[in-house]
Amino acid sequence: MRVLLFGNSGSGKSTLARRLAREHGLVHLDLDSVVWEPDQIAVQRDAQAILASLEAFLHAHDRWVIEGCYGELVRAASGHCTELVFLNPGLETCLAHNRQRPWEPHKYASKEAQDAMLENLQAWVSDYYERKDPWSYHAHRQIFDAFSGRKRECLDRFTDANHWSPGSA
């Protein structure tokens, strides 16, 4: 089982990925951990290093769940997944989830540092449906629509994603 979850920030990717990892014994990769420089806020690693880290993970593990918003990495990993899941619960849900987000110590030195970035995050999330970058709805929709394997779009996180298991209809 190799599940690839993607969508906007706040769509429920991390929550669902942790649940799937726990319930199915999958290795979990949050793409944030390969994209950003450790112990730095919003400092992206070199593109070749990012791709090399993803490829190393894919080759090292047979059973995994990968989650993130990075269209170029989702596209690269999609050839290795057994199921692609697009979490798309809508803008208001994503914004609400971001406001309720617990401290993420793997990303921020403190809850205060994380909260200081919330306004920037919310502005970026709000532009999801208008942007045309690789981390946008436009890019995510193209990836999902072009994927020919098993796939699912979850429009309502609570009814779709919480009661879903890989391989189910």
Residues of the chain predicted below pLDDT 50: 159, 169
Q: Any idea where the domains of the chain sit in the sequence?
A: 2-161
- Token output for 6: 């993607």
What local confidence, expressed as pLDDT, does residue 159 receive?
45
Phi, psi of 80 (to 5 degrees): -110, -10
What local confidence, expressed as pLDDT, does residue 107 receive?
80
Residue type, position 162, single letter: N
What local confidence, expressed as pLDDT, does residue 28 receive?
98
- Token output for 46: 């070199």
Check whether domain 2-161 has CATH 3.40.50.300, yes or no: yes
What local confidence, expressed as pLDDT, does residue 163 receive?
56
What local confidence, expressed as pLDDT, does residue 8 receive?
97
* C-alpha 105 chain-centroid distance: 17
* Cβ atoms of 17 and 28 closer than 8 Å: yes
